[in-house]
Structures are given as structure tokens and as C-alpha cells.
């Protein structure tokens, strides 16, 4: 028997006009149902299975600091951030190009190469604006595909000079696979980590989501980034019937490539940017990922390992942190339950900034960066390339051995369910901590920035 478990603000997928939605639960499945006066009713599943929707909560005391835009039309039309936004910036994205060396059938940015690359003066100003408006956060360089810019190392160095302690690159890995020296140059410029598009361990997955065979290229990019000393996070776009059967295989691929491979961050496919023309929205939900990981791992990881976030809205993500021991066993780290008394949202964001930077960077025990091929070193590419790690003396007691291992062999499994015009929940949007920086200084929540109507019109992207 169905029942209404909440009401939320949302938008119509056809016109992006503001509508009210009902969260309707029926047999463990929660649907967002909404009606537009002009375009009729829309319904999509936003939660399916265990843990129970009602149990997945982490209340926060709203953050109201920092420069804010005036509230005019109301959420989601005043982003920048507006006075109703409840969270500070944890990660700022700067899109340094619209060009790309892939033409994926699925692309949240709908990258087609239109427009000019941002010049250095504009980027320097944007970095300064982000630092001034946020007081400090993590930075992700994105696009398009950032590695198509020949001046990428110089841009990384500019970001470091602006004061960002953690700079991450969002990349498909093609250029890193082709050019081992690029990874070394990026490390020397100050890059901390790569957020690597990695959808599965079979070529049919890449053909479906990316339009071509890419698995061996992805492996080479991992090897080259590891050899250069970069932290690596695998980022699979998860689509039902395409790679939902490979969740644990992807994690296993990452575990086999520790210590530089620091985690897997699943992102269920959302319908914004570029996606199949004829489709029925079918979102893979967070509980399906959690239960899928437990089933596919044979119980090595469990649903109860994963916790709601302390930074963004609880319905946006989950995470669990683990350590691989010397004998190959996999141990969960930290508490198995969250303290769900309300905490200041800003405190959660500040903690997340530090934890993310430490976990997704390469371990501190790494040796100095290796030279490029042709400068007295063997080529770094190749499936068997071994990461260069210093070998400190083995500690004498169990506690010291545990702490030493935890510094190099921790691994996170996490997921982020982005919202599109079908699934948008304005309560969630107002708790967003991942913001896309604009040349005019605004910081637009990621899901609002990428929001796309059924016919491809963007609410913010491409509109200045």
C-alpha cells in the first residue's frame, strides 16, 4: 500500500518550471511524483530497497555564511549561491575547456568543443575568487577533457599558487595513457589526484557508454599515473543493464592496484547533458549500489558498512572506508553507525575537505617523482608497471604496523547520486557542497548547473 512520506520542491522535465512533488513509498520503493499544469505528471524512482528510506538521514544545522545572491525567482533559479543555500563549498569545479577527445553517448557536460578555452588571466581570477568566497576548499579541474590543453601543468601550478592544497584532475585518461611524461609533469606542478572515468572491466561497457573500446587504455593510464606518484580514484558511470553487474569487479581492480589507487566513486547515470534520445528514466539508486556491492563481494563489504554523508544532503551519497591488510583481508575502518544528532553543516564540510584531500592523494610514503622516459628511465607504461614506493623499516609492534599500513593501504568505496530534471529535490539541492565556479565569481551547485530539460535546454550551462 502506497503512502506519502514527504513533499519537496522540484521542476518539470519539459519546461524546467517550478512544481511541487510528493515522495511516495510503496513496498520499499520511493518515487518522486510531480505534476506540471502544462505537461502533466512525471514519476521516477529515487530509492529502491534497503536500507530503508526513512532510516537514511543525517540532519544538519544550516550554514548561512559567505557572500550570497539575493533571492528573486526562488530555488533553483537564483543559484550563485543564493541566501537559501544551506551548505558551504567543499569542492569547487573549474571547467578549463569545452573540448574533448572523446564523443561519449553519455556526457553530463555535453562537451562538443564549442567556445574558447579560458585564458590564464580568467583562470587566475577564478581561482582567486573561489578562495575569497569559500575561505578555502578542494579544487577539481574539469571540462570537457582538461588534458587536451597543452598548458595543463601551468594551470595546475596556478591553482597551487592561489592556495589550493588539494588539486584534482577530472579526466578520461586517454592522454595519460599515451604520454607517461604528462603524469610526471602534473605531479611536479602540484597535482594531487586524478578522478578517472572508469566504467567497467569489459569492453562492451565502454562501447555502450563511451562509443569505443577503452579498457586497455584505462589500464595504461592507471599504470602511468601510479608510476608518477598520483593518487587515483576510479569513477564509474553506472547504468542499469550495462555495468550494474560489475560493481565489485571495479572495486577489485582498484584494490589490486593499491597503494596509489585510493578508491572507487560510483556515479549512477543522470539524464542531463547528453544521453540517449529515446529513453525512460531509470535511475540506479544508492541502496541498489549498496546491496549490489554486498552481494557481488560475497559479503566482504556489507550494506551496514556505508554511512550517509556529513557534508552534502544525506540522500545524495554514501561512503565507507577500508584497509587492506598484509594477508589480503579487507577491514572496515571507523564507526559502523553515524551520530545522527544535528551538527553544523559547515563542520561537516570542513571535515570532508580534509578527509577527502588526505584519502584521495597518493600516500605520503612515496619516493620522489621518477624521471620521464628518455631522461634516464624506462618507459612507465605497461600493465605490469610497479609504483615506486619507499620501504621504511617494518615497525616492531602490532599498533605501529597497523598505523603504517593505514597510511598507505586505505581505500574508500563511495557513491554520489546526481539529480536531473526528473529526480530533482530542492531540499537536496540546497544542501549541495559541490559547486561549479563561474568567471563572474558565482558558485553554482553542480546539479543545478547541469540541469537539462528533455529537449536539451540548460538552466545554467551555456547561458553565461
Angle at 325 between CA 333 and CA 221, to 5 degrees: 90
Helices (H), 361-459: 398-408, 426-429, 446-449
Residue 197 near residue 172, CB atoms below 8 Å = yes
Q: What is the pLDDT of residues 177-204, one digit of tens each?
A: 999 999 999 999 999 999 999 999 999 9
- Name residues whose C-beta falls within 8 Å of residue 101's C-beta, 6 or more positions apart in sequence: 145, 147, 148, 172, 174, 175
Q: So where are the chain's domains?
A: 3-49, 54-368+397-449
The predicted structure's pLDDT at residue 433: 97
Range with lowest mean pLDDT among 9-23, 33-47, 99-113, 125-139? 99-113
Q: What is the pLDDT of residues 20-32, one digit of tens each?
A: 999 999 999 999 9
Q: What is the mean pLDDT of residues 205-212?
A: 96
3-state helix, strand, coil split of the chain in percent (to 5) is 30, 25, 50
3 state DSSP class of 223? helix
Closest CA relative to residue 96, chosen from 113, 110, 117 = 117
Instruction: Output the pTM of the full model.
Output: 0.93
Tell me which DSSP letter residue 365 carries: T
**Looking at domain 54-368+397-449, does it have CATH number 3.40.50.300?**
no
The yes-or-no verdict on residue 388 having pLDDT over 50 is no
The predicted structure's pLDDT at residue 366: 46
Q: What is the pLDDT of residues 349-378, one digit of tens each?
A: 999 999 999 999 998 534 445 556 545 444
Residue 38 near residue 15, CB atoms below 8 Å = yes
Cis? peptide before 353, omega within 30° of 0? no
Beta strands in 172-257 (DSSP E): 193-197, 231-235, 237-238
Split at pLDDT 50, 70, 90, the class of 108 is confident
The yes-or-no verdict on residue 114 having pLDDT over 70 is no
Amino acid at each position: 500500500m502506497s503512502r506519502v512520506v514527504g513533499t519537496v520542491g522540484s521542476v518539470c522535465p519539459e519546461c524546467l518550471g517550478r512544481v511541487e512533488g510528493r515522495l511516495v513509498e510503496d513496498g520499499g520503493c520511493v518515487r518522486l511524483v510531480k505534476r506540471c499544469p502544462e505537461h502533466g505528471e512525471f514519476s521516477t524512482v529515487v530509492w529502491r530497497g534497503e536500507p530503508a528510506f526513512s532510516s537514511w538521514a543525517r540532519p544538519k544545522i544550516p550554514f548561512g555564511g559567505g557572500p550570497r545572491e539575493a533571492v528573486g525567482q526562488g530555488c533553483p533559479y537564483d543559484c550563485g549561491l543564493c541566501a537559501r543555500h544551506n551548505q558551504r563549498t567543499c569542492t569547487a569545479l573549474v571547467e578549463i575547456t569545452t573540448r574533448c577527445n572523446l564523443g561519449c553517448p553519455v556526457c553530463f557536460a555535453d562537451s562538443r568543443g564549442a567556445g574558447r578555452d579560458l585564458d590564464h588571466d580568467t583562470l587566475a581570477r577564478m581561482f582567486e575568487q573561489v578562495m575569497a568566497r569559500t575561505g578555502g576548499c578542494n579544487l577539481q579541474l574539469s571540462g570537457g577533457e582538461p588534458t587536451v590543453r597543452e598548458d595543463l601543468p601551468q594551470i595546475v601550478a596556478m591553482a597551487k599558487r592561489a592556495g589550493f592544497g588539494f588539486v584534482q584532475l577530472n579526466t578520461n585518461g586517454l592522454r595519460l595513457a599515451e604520454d607517461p611524461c604528462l603524469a610526471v609533469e602534473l605531479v611536479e606542478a602540484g597535482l594531487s589526484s586524478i578522478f578517472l572515468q572508469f566504467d567497467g572491466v569489459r569492453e562492451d561497457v565502454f562501447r555502450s557508454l563511451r562509443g569505443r573500446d577503452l579498457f586497455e587504455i584505462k589500464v595504461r593510464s592507471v599504470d602511468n599515473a601510479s608510476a608518477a606518484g598520483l593518487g587515483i580514484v576510479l569513477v564509474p558511470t553506472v547504468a542499469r543493464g550495462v555495468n550494474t553487474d560489475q560493481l565489485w569487479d571495479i572495486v577489485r581492480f582498484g584494490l589490486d592496484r593499491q597503494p596509489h589507487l585510493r578508491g572507487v566513486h560510483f556515479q549512477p547515470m543522470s539524464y542531463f547533458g547528453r544521453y540517449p534520445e529515446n529513453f525512460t528514466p531509470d535511475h540506479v539508486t544508492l541502496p541498489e549500489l549498496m546491496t549490489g556491492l554486498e552481494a557481488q563481494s560475497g559479503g566482504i563489504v556489507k550494506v551496514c558498512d556505508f554511512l550517509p554523508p556529513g557534508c552534502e544532503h544525506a540522500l545524495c551519497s554514501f561512503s565507507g572506508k577500508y584497509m587492506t591488510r598484509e594477508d589480503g583481508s579487507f577491514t572496515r575502518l571507523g564507526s559502523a553507525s553515524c551520530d545522527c544528532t544535528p551538527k553544523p553543516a559547515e563542520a561537516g564540510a570542513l571535515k570532508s575537505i580534509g578527509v577527502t584531500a588526505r584519502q584521495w592523494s597518493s600516500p605520503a610514503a612515496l619516493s620522489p617523482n621518477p624521471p620521464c622516459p628518455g631522461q634516464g628511465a624506462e618507459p612507465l607504461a605497461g600493465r605490469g608497471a610497479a609504483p615506486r614506493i619507499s620501504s621504511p623499516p617494518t615497525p616492531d609492534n602490532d599498533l605501529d604496523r597497523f598505523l603504517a599500513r593505514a597510511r598507505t593501504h586505505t581505500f574508500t568505496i563511495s557513491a554520489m547520486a546526481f539529480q536531473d530534471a526528473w529526480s530533482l529535490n530542492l531540499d537536496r539541492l540546497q544542501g549541495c557542497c559541490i559547486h561549479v565556479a563561474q568567471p563572474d565569481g558565482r558558485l553554482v551547485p553542480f546539479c543545478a548547473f547541469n540541469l537539462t530539460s528533455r529537449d536539451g535546454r540548460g538552466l545554467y550551462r551555456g547561458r553565461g
